[in-house]
Structure formats: C-alpha cells, structure tokens
Structure 1
Amino acid sequence: MKHIFYHGTSSLFLRSIHKYGLGGINPNKEWKLLELLVYLYEISESRLQGNKEYAKIRDSTKAMAFQEQLSVEKGIYEGTHNFNHKNIYLSYGEIRAVVYAVNNEYGSEILTRIITLYRLLKKARVGIDIPMRLDSIGIERIEKQHFFPLLIGIDNIDSSSLLTEYGESADKYFSIISELRNTLDYYSFWEKMQRYNFQSLSPISVSKLTFYKVLYTGYIGSSNFTWDTVKL
C-alpha cells in the first residue's frame, strides 16, 4: 500500500461506498444515527446508573451524542478527542485508520456505540421501544450480523478539499508534517502521524479508492496486536 490518506470503516458500508463514493451519504443524517444515539443515551442515563460497563463509556457517549470534545487524561487514548461527525475523516498513514476500523465493528463510531448501548440496556432487562422514525437502519437486525474491518486507501486528494479535524486549513498540518518528516526517524515520524486527522469537504469518487480487508489478532494497545491487509 502506498497511499497517503486512509479511512477506516467496516464491510457494512462497502456497497454504499461503491455506489455513492466515500462521504456520498452521511449515515448519521440519512439513517438518523445521531438522533438514535441521543435517544439511547437519555434512556441509559436514567436506567443504567450504577452500571459499571456503562460508567466506562458514559463520558465519551455524551460527547458523541452532543458532538463535543473530550479530554482523556490517561491510558492509551490519552489526549483530546474530537467527536464531530459532520464530514468524512481521513488519517495520514494507515495505522490510525486500521485502529479505528478494528475498534468500531460496525464501521461507524456512532453506530457501534448505539449497538453497545442497545446491548447494555437489553442485558439490564430494560425495555426498549425505539420509534420507527429513528430506526431506519434496523438495529435489531444489524446487531445480529458480523462485519469485517475495512481499510480504504485514497489517492489524489487536493489540500483545498481538506480541513484539519478541528476545522483549520489543511496546509497547517501539511507544514508540520513536512517539518517532522525531515527531523524524525521513520518510526518516530509515523508515531507522531497518529495525531493528524483530516476532514474531507466533499465526497470522494470510487475511482480514487482502493479497498482492503483488515486481518488482525490480539487487542488494540496490547503487545500482541498484529494486523495485515488483503486487497479486495
């Protein structure tokens, strides 16, 4: 693989991306995923107080539901996390995109969290009656299916069609990246690159995309995590 930008998702979205391009459809709007997350978050706040599993994801769930930033002070996810899902995000280099794809079984951070909440509520025997207008994706059906992590390589993206993940000019990141490339060794450089995400301002046509199935063993953040890709 010799692409510059990558996007991590799952095979759930493969057919849609082939048809509409990457970012041609925003599932958070088209499938009302953001509204559904808010709905389940509010139920969880009422019915899962004291639940240890929910407590671990409570802050990040709130940040996702209301599209906020969240600061994590320790652990493998230490740093500021930007939960803004307006545009498609691209990573510089494949590692961050692979981690995203592996961490989000359903290819979308919001959809994966929706299903996590759905399962926690069901496990706690909380009755859930999702309004039909919020369940166009069919959560009960999707939750029972399995999808593989999908890595997408993207070529020929002009900087004018990109912003940083915080909405600034992409040239700001490119300037920093160029400086780091000239001053750091290979491994240190790519470790730093995990901090740089970009937003694509417009859909990306299929002709610029290459698809890979991600094969992995172990767990993210552990020494036994290994991965490889197979071109589709």
Structure 2
Amino acid sequence: MAKLDFPLYHGTCTLFVESIGKYGLGGWDPIKEWRVLECLQKVIPIAEKHTARSEIIRNNIGNAQLMAKQVNGGLNFQHGAVYLSPSRETAVRYACGKKKGSELISRTVLLIDELCRLDVKEVKTDLFQEFPEMFNVMDIDAAPVLIWIPQADTDMLLSERGESPADTLAKIRGIQTRLPDGWESVCQQMNFRLTQPISADEISVSLIAVRKWRPYQIDYSLLPIDLPPNE
C-alpha cells in the first residue's frame, strides 16, 4: 500500500459534512440514495416542454441531457463517484460553482426549482411525492467546503475515466520535477476517482469563505471545521 507524497482535494458543500463524518469521504452516495439520476431523467421531458418559457431551462437542458445519459467524453458526467484533484484551486472552484455540492444534484434541483416557479403541476405533485429529498435539498442553503486528503493510498485511486492511475501519477511526477513550485496549477485537470471510502480521521475539512468571486480566480479564505462525531 503506497501513500501519495502530495495532497489531494475534494470540493463539496455543507449538505454532506454530516454524512462524511459518519461514513467517511465516499462512504455514502446521495446520488444513489436519493435516486437523483432517475429524478433528472423524469425532469428532462417535462422541462423540454417549457424551454420557450424559460431562459434557465434553455441554458441548462443540453448539459442535463448529457448528464442523464451519463456521457463520459470531454465532459465528466460519471456521477456517483467521488473525484479528487491534486489542485486545491480546482476543488475550490468546483465547490463554489455547485450550490448543492454535486453537479448532478445542483442541475437537477435548478430545473425543478424553475419548473416550480413556472407552476408546472406535475412537478409539484407527482415528482414531489416520488423524490421528496430533492425538494428538501432545494430549500437548503449550503456553503462550499474543501476536503483535504494529505496522504491518499494509491490503491484507492483510479484515473478520472476509471482506468489505472499510473499514467496520471507519472505525468504529475514529471511536472513536479520540471516545475517544483508551479506544478499544481499545471495539473488542475489531472483528477482521480476514489474507489473506496476514506475515513473521517484521515481528512481535514474547511469552509470556503469567498471574498471575491471570479470564474477562474476566487479570492477566499479557509475556515477549518470539525466533522460531527460518528455516533
């Protein structure tokens, strides 16, 4: 069992801090437990009927359709897995850009919220009864969170596409050799997929307090928080 000699990071939100404290990072899958993909697949045909009425729907329906098909090409839509980045800035941008901590959950909730605003009855009745957790999440204000894994085990990792991490690790180490002070910024897109939970005592968690938001450069500070005890 080999340990990485550089940290990995994961961006999420306060919605999931309690479950991470209880089950570890990756130990509980809200996508599966809340049937989020199934929910999105039912939301899409409803949303498609109302594209003319909503700019929000028009701007999001294309990516939502790709997510529903679980496309894994240039866009990473293999949802349900936990992804880790060697770049803190990548994880921070992800956490700050996804209001509900997950791309799939965030976009599904966005469409549901817009359909409710448009007073679409089948959303307020049928979908509400079938997927109550998604409607509960819609009303919760969540703050962005950064998770720091100081020494991940390499046997817990795959590449972002689900392959051996060896090539990605070799590329990172090569960049570290050439750019010892700037390697992290070059490796922002070299992410890993976590294959098994990391216990709460092996990670650190911080709230991300955003001072100024810009898409590619966020001015922020980190406020360490304690995970809830595993009872």
TM-score (norm: length of structure 1)? 0.86
| Cα displacement (A) at 1:133 | 6.6
Q: Does structure 2 retain, via aligned residues, the 8 Å contact 1:44–1:121?
A: yes
| Corresponding residue number in structure 1 for 2:29 | 26
| Corresponding residue number in structure 1 for 2:213 | 219
| Corresponding residue number in structure 2 for 1:73 | none
Residue of 131, 137, 141 corresponding to 1:135: 131
Q: Which has the higher contact order (CA 8 A, sep 6+)?
A: 2
Distance 1:24 1:222, change over 3 A: closer
Structure 1 letter corresponding to 2:48: E
1-side partners of 2:82 and 2:38: how far apart? 18
Distance 1:197 1:134, change over 3 A: farther
Distance 1:177 1:19, change over 3 A: same
1-side partners of 2:212 and 2:53: how far apart? 30
| Cα displacement (A) at 1:141 | 3.0
| Corresponding residue number in structure 2 for 1:172 | 167
2-side partners of 1:20 and 1:49: how far apart? 43
The answer on 1:200 being equivalent to 2:200 is no
Structure 2 letter corresponding to 1:31: W
| Corresponding residue number in structure 2 for 1:96 | 90
Distance 1:132 1:122, change over 3 A: closer
Deviations for 1:157-187, whole angstroms, at most 9, x for unmatched residues?
Answer: 2212100111121111110011112223634
The answer on 1:46 being equivalent to 2:39 is no
Structure 2 letter corresponding to 1:11: T
Distance 1:214 1:130, change over 3 A: farther
Distance 1:98 1:175, change over 3 A: same
State how 1:69-88 maps to structure 2 within 5 Å: 69=72, 80-88=74-82
Q: Does structure 2 retain, via aligned residues, the 8 Å contact 1:33–1:134?
A: no
5+ long unaligned stretches in structure 1: 71-79
2-side partners of 1:218 and 1:130: how far apart? 40
| Cα displacement (A) at 1:49 | 4.2
Q: Give the strand-richer structure, 1 or 2.
A: 1
**Which moves more between the two structures, 39-48 or 126-135?**
126-135
**Aligned-partner SS, 2:83:** strand
| Corresponding residue number in structure 2 for 1:162 | 157
Q: Does structure 2 retain, via aligned residues, the 8 Å contact 1:159–1:171?
A: no
| Corresponding residue number in structure 2 for 1:114 | 108
| Corresponding residue number in structure 2 for 1:77 | none
Structure 2 letter corresponding to 1:228: S
Q: Does structure 2 retain, via aligned residues, the 8 Å contact 1:35–1:134?
A: no
**Which moves more between the two structures, 50-59 or 3-12?**
50-59
Q: Does structure 2 retain, via aligned residues, the 8 Å contact 1:3–1:93?
A: no
Number of corresponding residues:
219
Structure 1 letter corresponding to 2:114: L
Distance 1:227 1:3, change over 3 A: farther
| Corresponding residue number in structure 2 for 1:12 | 15
The answer on 1:230 being equivalent to 2:226 is no
Q: Does structure 1 retain, via aligned residues, the 8 Å contact 2:6–2:86?
A: no
Residue of 161, 178, 197 corresponding to 1:183: 178
Distance 1:121 1:65, change over 3 A: same
